[in-house]
Chains A and B, each alone.
Chain A
Amino acid sequence: MNKVININFQGRILPIEEQAYEILKQYIESLRVYFANEEGRDEIINDIECRIAELCEDRLKKGTVCIAANDIDLIITSIGRPADFEAQDGFEASTSQTQQNTSGNNSSNFYRDGNRPKRLYRDEQNKVLGGVCSGIANYFVIEPWVVRILWFFLIGINILAYLILWIAVPSTSVKVVGGVRKRLFRDIDNKIIGGVAAGLSKYFGIQVWIVRILFLIPFIRFVANFRHMHLFQFWDAPDFPNFLDITFSPGAVFVYIVLWLVLPEAKTSADKLEMVGEKVDLNSIKNTIQNDMEGFSKRAQSWGSDLYNRNKGTNNMNESNDSHESSENHRSTENRKGLLYYIGRIITLCIKGFVYFILAIVGISLLAALFGIGAAATALLPLKNFLIEDGAQTWSVIGAILLFVWVPIIGIVTAVIRKIAGLKKANVWVRSSFIALWVLGWVCIFYFGSSLGNSFSRHNAPAEQSVALTNPTINYVEITAAPKMKYYENHWYQFEDFQGFSDEDTVYVRNLRIRIVQSKTDSFEVKIVKLSNGKTVQNANELASKINFELTQQDSMLYLDKGIGINKIDKFRNQHIIMTIAVPIGKRIKITNKGWSQTNININGRGIRTGTIDRITNDENWYDEWNEPWDNESYQFEKGIEYKMTKTGLESVSPRDIDEDRSDDIKKMDNENLDKEIQLQKLKEEREAIKNDIKKLKEEELQKDKIKVVKVNGLKKDDIGNSNLEKMNKIGKAAGKLSDLQWVLDRFTH
């Protein structure tokens, strides 16, 4: 008993047994697989379907009630199964390839023979290792060595890609066309980005999420690696290339993009069949690689001679007869056309790839930046008491951090995880509540911004205070931080590294600016202006008056306090100090960063404004006046260098010390100087001694000459000669040493 169903097949209504229908379906599926790479596949299958329908109808007309399984079998036999086609028509790649090889051409264009659409194969005939490079070369109609060289230069990135392609791309020796064979496709049904991971998982028969995790590991590592993030300076130019560094492993992204571009989509059910096809297990991979490796050394050897022969071959070809040449020409024109076409395609693909790559980078970095901000803001939350008022402001900042920063991060991460895990998208309610929370986050951030801005909106009326110096008429002043003290960057709103500074209730900020001006008198003057912002002028005045910043003097050293204390009640309202140092003409000043080498202070050195000290009035303009361009280059003042005040401005006295650790350096220098001085002293003494020696010797000489004259008879000639020679030598040596010493001394004194 068989169930009969009615099908609408190519415009004909056919009653058909279910079993027969199944056979028909399988047959058409097998045709799809067989013609998978035909350009006009759909048309061919359509034509064949039409023909089948026609034949079926013929049978019905002859009186059959319905199409049975054996009817379908007969029809199929008359049309032919894929296996039969193969026996009849020789459109196999291998045959045309042998033709090519025997005719002495490389096989770069044989894939286009027989109007067969191009498909990436590993080239068994021209392979070195796995034939991937020559396969790619064939695909793009270029010389294999070009690909090999490119591949070699990108070796780090490419090993993974090579292995994947080696395993995944069918070799030209695979002749099982029409049979169900496994092919790597992009699985567009289960895709997140390009379906590459899904396709790979289908190919290897593993869970999708494993492949995805493998692709994501480098990204996760990157995000986890916070050293890349300078918090708010995320886009800092010199750091950006790090982003593409190997730690980020462009390998995964690169492989993904390459596969995305190269792999076809699994569009039809035939493709999908091929995609899951036969099992590619570890064994078969091992076999492939083993087989390929065995021939490797042999091929490597014969490769060189091959190249040589090929060159010879091309020479011979030029000498060959006319008909041969004409066919060559024909082929080369064909080649050129193809080349242009494929160059165009490559360019399009490159552009496409580049755009996707940029988009991916932007997306990833946005997420990473958001994550960084979130982490930083959360980490700084304990410090909020020093900045933010209780009540609405506190709530708004918590709201802003939670809703504006963390909600989207969680949303994106969960969405990604859901995708990876292959779950359905979160439902509308969840998504819209996420969006609503984020909108609330926007409200919070705006409220917080405006309210905090309001808290900083006014500044105090400044008053200058003189700091009494014990001996203002000294010649030299050095300003430095109290020992073992860290100095903050004193950008105006800079919060940095409070650790070790915040006792329970107080943090210290180093909002300090130092101005150096010319003194009108012959004594140093130090003046301090305490400044603060606040909600109102009174509030600002009050905060400014609470600033407690002390300078300690010790001989010529001025020690700066450890910072401006900020407590939880008064909050940070941009309290800052401008210190003015008046240096008399002809006297020296030095600002060092002993012990806090990595920090900066803005120092205004060059601008000599004798008048400014008295300029602060109730007039509102003063503030702008004081907001001098601190980072202006003309105001540059280097730390650790001694400057001398002249009529026109500061002039550096000592050369700049290169080493940052100045204290050690100075000590070392001192020691060295001392050593040299001692050496010099010794040398001087030695010189004196030698001079005396020479004198003595000369005197002796004179006396001996006299003696010689007197006692010339009593001595043998030879003796006199010898003793004379010795003495002459001695004198010569002493003179030489003397001149050496003279030279050394000259150098020292110079």
Chain B
Amino acid sequence: MSSLSNTLKVQTESANTQRKLLTVIEPKSGWQIIDFQELREYRDLFYFLVWRDIKAFYAQTVLGFLWAIIQPVLQILIFTIILGNVAQLSSDGIPYALFVSVAIIPWTYMSQTIGLSSQSLVQGGNMLGKIYFPRLIFPISPVLSKLVDFGISILIVICLLLYYRVAPTWNLLFFPVFFLLMISIPMGAGLWFSSLAIRFRDVKQAMPFFIQMLMYSAPIVYSASSIPETYRILYSLNPIVGVIEGYRACLLGTPIPWLYIIPGMITAAILLISGAYYFKRMERIVVDVI
């Protein structure tokens, strides 16, 4: 018997006067494509799940959304004192606090989202077995719900920019580019990790360590210019490097180092597309394995 996998074909019947949705359920082999129309049909569910994530995260806390500010502020403070003043890491002439804050904010978003997204299927296990809705919604919800935190914590950066009297430049027009790059990383990683995590709980064990190490792989607390010239392209294959360097350049007005951003963009695109395919392939066995 050939390899058993499943897809759901959805076609509309045009032969009869009544248009009814025809669903075919059967095992089918091969790689599947993402059904964007289905996702669009479920957009209300998307909205409410994201809303639920946001509300539940800060439920019954007194500080509520302030936590989105407090944590990064403390991090920036500690890094500035320890790494900026005591260890005196180079920051390319930019005040260290500003240097690190522009990087910490997107990093917080990405690291939190990768963690949540990778556990999304495991934690949603209860719902998975009781009702059908496009499974893609699970890893994508944290990507959207954490944007709220990101939006709030961006205020910190704006405050620091004002404090250090950094003038806006045309580079700001590229902000959407890096924003999209920033989103695509946890999305791609989340798709991969979540489909692996349902089968191999090792993912959960390794995640905190992995994220910690990942932080050092990008120029968050140190400057990318510290990396020797010969290794810089290799270094830039990490898309997080591209995000951090891109944000720094567009917010602080320094020239955008496209040479070191584009490799990361390519990696991110591959990660995202391959993640989507892998997820769809694993989607069908999720409920049986979880």
The answer to whether A and B belong to the same complex is no
Instruction: Give A residues with C-beta under 8 Å from B.
Output: none
Instruction: Give B residues with C-beta under 8 Å from A.
Output: none
